[in-house]
């Protein structure tokens, strides 16, 4: 019986404490302060709205991020001029891979036994057909002869090494080919691509600072400076 009385008494005490907390006087709120705060928040929101950027203005798409079904890109319009008759496109920067200015219908994809680009762009024929010749860098193999030693270590030009990377081109060599395109340069379309004309494209205000007077049309990788600091294999 005494146990039940203690439980009831405890519940009554908890109830009184709870009621007292509820009836505790709340701090008074200054209406003027609240009004000023709301006004400031509205002003900030208005400033943010004025300086905000809409989703439709981001990138080339003219729809928001929630309208994928309405998002379409401009149709690519590649040049249809026949090779040898097209106008060369200026390079974007010094030694940038030239854009393909002529029609490539039937020329792609490039395969192991078929690369029609070489028919006109190899140095021995490029001048005769008024094509841009491939530079010396495309006729040079910079890859050292790599192998595996008996102990399993990697070798570069016959020397066993522990680390294949080198910040000072320690393992880079240069082997020139007179009339052969090096394998690393065989897939022309991995760097060169047709240029789409027209379309809704933002204006490009970039002005290239070429190192040579003819940098917009010719590569500077055609002379011995390409080999500076590199051991040439015999």
Q: Does 133 fall in a domain? A: yes
**What is the predicted pLDDT for the residue at 187?**
94
> What's the number of domains the chain is made of?
1
Q: How many separate helices (H) and strands (E) can be counted in the chain?
A: 4, 6
Domain that holds residue 187: 77-194+213-226
DSSP code, position 192: -
pLDDT tens track for 41-71? 666 566 555 667 777 676 667 777 777 777 7
> E strands, 103-172, where?
140-141, 146-148, 154-156, 159-161
Q: What is the largest CA-CA distance in the chain?
A: 118
Residue 108: which H helix or E strand, with range? none
- CA–chain centroid gap for 212, Å, is 26
Tell me how far CA of residue 10 lies from CA of 2, 3, 7, 13, in angstroms.
Answer: 13, 11, 5, 5
Over residues 157-164, the mean pLDDT reads 80
Q: Does 150 fall in a domain? A: yes
Q: Does 38 fall in a domain? A: no
Residue 35 — φ and ψ, nearest 5°? -65, -45
Instruction: Report the distance separating Cα 126 and Cα 198, nearest Å.
Output: 29
Q: Does 7 fall in a domain? A: no
**What is the predicted pLDDT for the residue at 45?**
61
pLDDT tens track for 8-52? 455 656 454 444 545 444 455 555 555 555 566 666 566 555 667
Instruction: Report the distance separating Cα 44 and Cα 41, nearest Å.
Output: 5
Q: Does 10 fall in a domain? A: no
Q: Does 101 fall in a domain? A: yes
Q: Which residue has the tokens 């036994």?
A: 113
Tell me how far CA of residue 155 lies from CA of 63, 172, 183, in angstroms.
Answer: 55, 13, 20
Q: Does 166 fall in a domain? A: yes
pLDDT tens track for 67-101? 777 777 777 788 888 888 888 889 988 889 999 99
Going by pLDDT thresholds of 50, 70 and 90, the confidence category of residue 115 is very high
> Which CATH number is 165's domain given?
1.10.1130.10
Q: Does 154 fall in a domain? A: yes
């Amino acid at each position: 019986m005494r146990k039940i009385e203690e439980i009831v008494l405890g519940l009554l005490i908890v109830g009184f404490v709870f009621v007292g907390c509820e009836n505790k006087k709340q701090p008074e709120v200054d209406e003027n302060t609240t009004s000023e705060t709301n006004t400031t928040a509205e002003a900030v929101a208005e400033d943010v709205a004025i300086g905000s950027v809409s989703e439709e203005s981001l990138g080339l798409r003219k729809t928001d991020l929630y309208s994928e079904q309405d998002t379409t890109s401009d149709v690519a319009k590649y040049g249809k001029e026949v090779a040898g008759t097209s106008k060369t496109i200026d390079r974007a920067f010094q030694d940038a891979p030239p854009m393909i200015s002529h029609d490539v219908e039937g020329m792609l994809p490039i395969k192991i036994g078929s690369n029609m680009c070489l028919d006109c762009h190899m140095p021995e024929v490029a001048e005769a057909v008024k094509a841009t010749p491939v530079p010396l860098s495309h006729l040079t193999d910079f890859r050292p002869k790599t192998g595996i030693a008996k102990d399993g270590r990697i070798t570069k030009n016959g020397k066993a090494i522990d680390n294949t990377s080198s910040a000072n081109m320690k393992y880079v060599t240069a082997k020139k080919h007179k009339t052969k395109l090096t394998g690393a340069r065989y897939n022309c379309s991995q760097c060169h691509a047709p240029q789409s004309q027209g379309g809704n494209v933002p204006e490009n205000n970039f002005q290239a600072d070429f190192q040579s007077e003819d940098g917009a049309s010719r590569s500077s990788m055609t002379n011995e400076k390409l080999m500076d600091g590199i051991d040439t294999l015999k």
